[in-house]
Structure 1
Amino acid sequence: MDQLSAMRAFVRVVETGNFTRAARSLDMSKTTVTNMVQNLEGHLKAKLLNRTTRQVAVTTEGALYYERAAQFLADLDELDGSISSSQAQPSGRLRVEMAGAFADLIVIPSLCDFYCRYPQITLDIGVGDRLVDYIAENVDCALRAGTPTDQSLIARKVGEIGMKTYASPGFIEMFGMPEHPSDLETRFFSVGYLNAQAGKVLPMEFRREGEAIEITPRYAVSVNDSRSYVAAALSGMGVVQAPQFMVREAVAKGDLIEVMTDWEREPLPLYIVYPRTRHLGNKVRVFVDWLVKLLKETSAGDAAPVRPAMAARKKKAGAGTEPAPVAIAAE
């Protein structure tokens, strides 16, 4: 028996909740994973899992073994990564999740720079604000706005997003200009931003000279995607608190107007998160470091995305030269 492989199979079954998802994530057949776990139980002379036709439950012995095995595998992967990283370029497939606005406006426009630095890494980028099952879906890490609340994840702060309050000229013409945050609870509609995990619309926050106010917005429509949120504001559906980098063009064109300018909103923190059971491998590490540098260069809350590396290459190659295409595609 390959005890190390059997241990990995058992850990993945526990983390995904069943043999089918574990087999899929390990790129093995369900029969192979089942046999590996059974052989491990035989080797240990202990029952690790209780199986029924509908679910898999961890036994007391299995829970104890899982805790030690998961930590052992994480330490082993970290050790392997630390040695291999000093010998060769980071490589492999990297699965990353992020909201569409970050992907479209910040990350993807600069990906040629990442590809030129790390040509042996292939990226799978999942776009959206949905809840993610990191283990079952084999997600290595995610870029998330707001302070993470999931205790099963490790979070590293990588930046902040400048936020301001906006409305469309049509909305202001029809309903007037809000003057105080409390107006958004009584006289004016906002666009609600629906937190899918909590199942409720997020509050809007304001501060002025030491005074802080949190209001529950009055809304006619709520959405759970940042681009749809801004689109609803552009259509005149209500007031929004939006990231500055997302609305810069609309503000410049006059399609959105900043309102209640004497009230501010705390910047929204940006985090890279990943499961506690998955070590921060070298390919993840270089992506995170690149992303931190990118956010500093672009000042995500205050400036439009820039591509300094690509601009330099174009200058050398001459006008009209197109960059090589990048295959956008974690282990």
Structure 2
Amino acid sequence: MDKLRAMQVFVRIVEANSFTRAAETLGLPRAALTATIKNLEAYLGTTLLQRTTRKLALTPDGADYHAQCVQILDAVVASEQAFRPGAAPRGRLRVDLPDAVGRHVILPHIGGFADAWPELALAFSFSDRLVDLTQQGIDCALRVGDLQDSALVGRPIGSMRFVTCAAPAYLGRHGTPRSIEDLANHQGIVHFSGRTGRPFDWDFIVGGKEVKAHVPGRIAVDNADANVACALQGLGITQAARYQVRGHLERGELVELLADTPPAPMPVSLLYPQGRTAAPKLRVFVEWITARLAGEPDLCLPVINVS
């Protein structure tokens, strides 16, 4: 039995909390993982996992062994790096990106990264919702907004700029708001969270302070591209990421409103599980995506703190 490989399989199953999900992320048949764990338990003379059709749980011995496996595998990675500092990153790298940022900002340039590291297999998922990085086998995630998961390492990159805007057709029918208070008499495109169903706040920076406002609206979406699409049709006023509507503003398809009281910026961060930063594949991707976003002046500026 390859004990190191067995440890890796065991840790992946625990992280994924599922034999099936672990098999998918490892690219192996589920039966192979089942056989590996049976052989490992027989070798150790103890049960590591309690398995039912609906539940997977560590036994007390399994919990102790898992903690030791994590330490051993981390030490192996550190040792390999110490003796192979020039080794090219290899293996599968899975990254989760916000839908709009991923499609408009990251993927159009990913060919350069793929060419630079030909031994990496790249897998991208697109989600504006919270995901469990360890259970889904995700190495790194880009997120916009305040971070809440303390189990993950968060690396701040900067702040995303937003803009309040509307189509000329809408303004021609309903007039142009001249103040935040005027918005109460207009229609907004409501952007709500797909995870909680709650609408995102409309906020503005007034005299260095963040001020929230309620804007009524009868159209609601949970996707940034859909939000912009509705605004372009003249269905209401919206707040959108400036990088996303830059071209529409330049062509006059959208008009910036209340420029003296812009929306509050939102932090942009990279997230990854504890202990993963030593992996060469993750390190080179973090360096690349940080540089890529630094080239987007409307997406990543120095971190802005708003009281």
- For 2:201, the equivalent position in structure 1 comes to 203
- For 1:156, the equivalent position in structure 2 comes to 155
Confirm whether residue 257 of structure 1 aligns to residue 242 of structure 2: no
- For 1:234, the equivalent position in structure 2 comes to 232
Please give the secondary structure, in 1, of the residue aligned with 2:218. Answer: strand
What is the rounded CA distance, in whole Å, between the counterparts of 2:77 and 2:193 in structure 1? 34
What is the rounded CA distance, in whole Å, between the counterparts of 1:35 and 1:96 in structure 2? 29
Identical residues among aligned pairs (%)? 33
Please give the secondary structure, in 2, of the residue aligned with 1:87. Answer: coil
Closer/same/farther in 2, CA of residues 105 and 256 from structure 1, 3 Å limit: same
Query: Quick check: 2:210–2:264 contact (8 Å CA) kept in 1?
Result: no
Once the two structures are TM-superposed, the CA of residue 250 in structure 1 deviates from its matched residue by: 0.5
Once the two structures are TM-superposed, the CA of residue 242 in structure 1 deviates from its matched residue by: 1.4
1:94-243 maps to which residues of 2 (within 5 A)? 94-184=93-183, 186-243=184-241
Q: Structure 1 residue aligned with 2:282, among 276, 281, 284? A: 284
What is the rounded CA distance, in whole Å, between the counterparts of 2:148 and 2:193 in structure 1? 13
> In the alignment, residue 187 of structure 1 is paired with which amino acid?
N
Count of aligned positions? 301
Please give the secondary structure, in 1, of the residue aligned with 2:142. Answer: strand
What is the rounded CA distance, in whole Å, between the counterparts of 1:40 and 1:91 in structure 2? 27
Once the two structures are TM-superposed, the CA of residue 257 in structure 1 deviates from its matched residue by: 0.9
1:25-40 maps to which residues of 2 (within 5 A)? 25-40=25-40
Unaligned runs of 5+ in 2: 302-307
**1:152-199 CA distance string (max 9 Å, x none):** 322212232221211111222222222333444x32222222222333
Once the two structures are TM-superposed, the CA of residue 279 in structure 1 deviates from its matched residue by: 4.2
Q: Which moved more, 1:117-126 or 1:160-169?
A: 117-126
What is the rounded CA distance, in whole Å, between the counterparts of 1:203 and 1:90 in structure 2? 42
Q: Which moved more, 1:69-78 or 1:166-175?
A: 69-78
What is the rounded CA distance, in whole Å, between the counterparts of 2:37 and 2:225 in structure 1? 45
1:282-321 maps to which residues of 2 (within 5 A)? 282-301=280-299
- For 2:304, the equivalent position in structure 1 comes to none
Query: Quick check: 2:47–2:59 contact (8 Å CA) kept in 1?
Result: yes
Query: Quick check: 2:268–2:300 contact (8 Å CA) kept in 1?
Result: no
TM-score, L = length of structure 1: 0.80
Q: Which moved more, 1:224-233 or 1:93-102?
A: 93-102
Please give the secondary structure, in 1, of the residue aligned with 2:131. Answer: coil
Q: Structure 2 residue aligned with 1:268, among 266, 269, 272? A: 266
What is the rounded CA distance, in whole Å, between the counterparts of 2:278 and 2:233 in structure 1? 42
Closer/same/farther in 2, CA of residues 79 and 159 from structure 1, 3 Å limit: farther
Query: Quick check: 2:231–2:238 contact (8 Å CA) kept in 1?
Result: yes
Q: Which moved more, 1:286-295 or 1:43-52?
A: 43-52
> In the alignment, residue 24 of structure 2 is paired with which amino acid?
R
Query: Quick check: 2:98–2:126 contact (8 Å CA) kept in 1?
Result: yes
Closer/same/farther in 2, CA of residues 157 and 263 from structure 1, 3 Å limit: same
- For 2:305, the equivalent position in structure 1 comes to none
Closer/same/farther in 2, CA of residues 248 and 110 from structure 1, 3 Å limit: same
**1:93-148 CA distance string (max 9 Å, x none):** 32222133323332233334334433333432323424434334432212221222
What's the C-alpha RMSD, in Å, of the aligned pairs? 2.5
> In the alignment, residue 221 of structure 1 is paired with which amino acid?
I
Please give the secondary structure, in 2, of the residue aligned with 1:219. Answer: coil
Query: Quick check: 2:294–2:300 contact (8 Å CA) kept in 1?
Result: no
